[in-house]
Amino acid sequence: MTVAAVIVAGGSGLRAGGEKPKQYQLIGGRPVIWWTCRAFLGHPAVDHVQAVIGEGHDAMFAEAVKGLDLPLPVIGGSTRQESCRIGVGAVGRHRPDKILIHDAARPFVSADLIGSVIAWLDRFPAVVPGMAVAETLKFAPGGMVSRTVDRSSIWTAQTPQGFAYDQIRAAYDKAEAERTQGLTDDASVAEHAGLAISMIPGRQENRKLTTAEDIEIANRDMTARTLQNLPDIRVGQGIDIHPFEDGDAVTLCGVAIPYSQRLKGHSDADAAMHALTDAILGTIGEGDIGTHFPPSDPQWKGAASRVFLEKAMQLLAAKGGLIANADITILAEAPKIAPHVAAMKAFLAPLLHVEPSRIAIKATTMEKLGAIGRKEGIMAYATVTVRLP
């Protein structure tokens, strides 16, 4: 028995907003499509996983699924139906008995649901998971209710939809030969070909991410779920200090604070972000900023310190780690830090892939004691907790 899975990721996903299509946006520190592909790759009953992507998305896809053992994607067509037909054809080389077709934008698909669809395919040539409709349905053309629809037999369709391979392939060929367009899911193609389709219970959690709000909620849920599965808890610390020199602003945690001086250093001298970066590197034993960005290298002169932080986050992600929290203390006699804390958290949160509530930024003066107390510079401490698999 050979089972192939096709992950359909052709859409441009513009409804979700953001710079990238929704399937490439990050939830729980990884792109949506990474989670979706991994769910199928990690399933013991699935033998082959094939992604179908949009034209021009090759580089974005390669970056998104780095580290996963996937074949090169195939490029989809202008409609979902066309993309699926291409995906179904592409896995033909494996001579699968069963095929699952799944939306890339449903990253919460469970192993249990994948297993159910595969099992039901022993009894039916087509299997669709779905949810019975709980709310009352109104038929309201033009926004005016004309009647209430009997919902007792109404289901919403999810994916993965499963099919006997030869039959769905023939169904796609038939739709293609007849030039039938506008079939919005694979079951519609199967229906069009007259296959017997069994509806089985889907899962509430297996929702499709469509809007920016969906992505935001999914980010929260996936982060919480992932943290539970990361038992290796590490703590790292970082300390940094930079002296003042003449200038007009100091940069701390990425935020420029107007002041009569600036911090002197090779990069933008963001002592707080340097301490934070060293703390992250400390959790995974990867040296410090100087190890990765030697001060002797002129290319980092005046560099924005987010480059250092992003490098540390990449090293952490490569180990499968996530930030649990970051606690930063800034020691400064002046300028005043407190009015800028919210902006600092907003700057750091997306870089750390956490909610702002997992970041603390505190400031204290030194009561005029020592070098910091004499306003000779600013010092920062950071403590970071990360969780690794």
Question: What residues line the site for Mg ion (CB under 5 A)?
Answer: 240, 274
Nearer to Mg ion, 271 or 324 (CB): 271
Burial (CB count within 10 angstroms: exposed 0-12, middle 13-18, buried 19+), residue 349: middle
**Least Å from the CB of residue 238 to Mg ion:** 9
**Least Å from the CB of residue 292 to Mg ion:** 13
**Least Å from the CB of residue 378 to Mg ion:** 10
Contacts of 244 (CB under 8 A, 6+ apart): 250, 261, 262, 263, 264, 375, 376, 377, 378
**Least Å from the CB of residue 248 to Mg ion:** 20
- Written as six digits, the tokens of 369 are 């004691």
| 6 vs 89: CA distance, rounded Å | 10
**Least Å from the CB of residue 389 to Mg ion:** 31
Nearer to Mg ion, 185 or 240 (CB): 240
Nearer to Mg ion, 274 or 358 (CB): 274
- Reported in sequence order, the residue ranges of the chain that DSSP labels E, i.e. its strands, are 3-9, 26-27, 30-31, 48-53, 74-75, 98-103, 126-132, 137-139, 147-149, 155-157, 161-164, 197-201, 232-246, 249-252, 255-258, 261-263, 322-331, 359-364, 377-388
Nearer to Mg ion, 70 or 276 (CB): 276
Q: What is the biggest distance separating any 2 CA atoms in the chain, rounded to whole angstroms? A: 84
Nearer to Mg ion, 185 or 270 (CB): 270
Nearer to Mg ion, 171 or 271 (CB): 271
Nearer to Mg ion, 269 or 316 (CB): 269
| 111 vs 88: CA distance, rounded Å | 21
Comparing every residue's Cβ against Mg ion, the nearest one is 274
CB contact at 8 A, 262 and 243: no
| 27 vs 218: CA distance, rounded Å | 6
**Least Å from the CB of residue 384 to Mg ion:** 16
**Least Å from the CB of residue 310 to Mg ion:** 16
Residue 359 β-bridge partners? 326
Nearer to Mg ion, 38 or 274 (CB): 274
If we measure between CA atoms, which residue out of 366, 365, 361 comes closest to residue 381? 361
If we measure between CA atoms, which residue out of 93, 101, 89, 100 comes closest to residue 3? 100
**Least Å from the CB of residue 98 to Mg ion:** 57
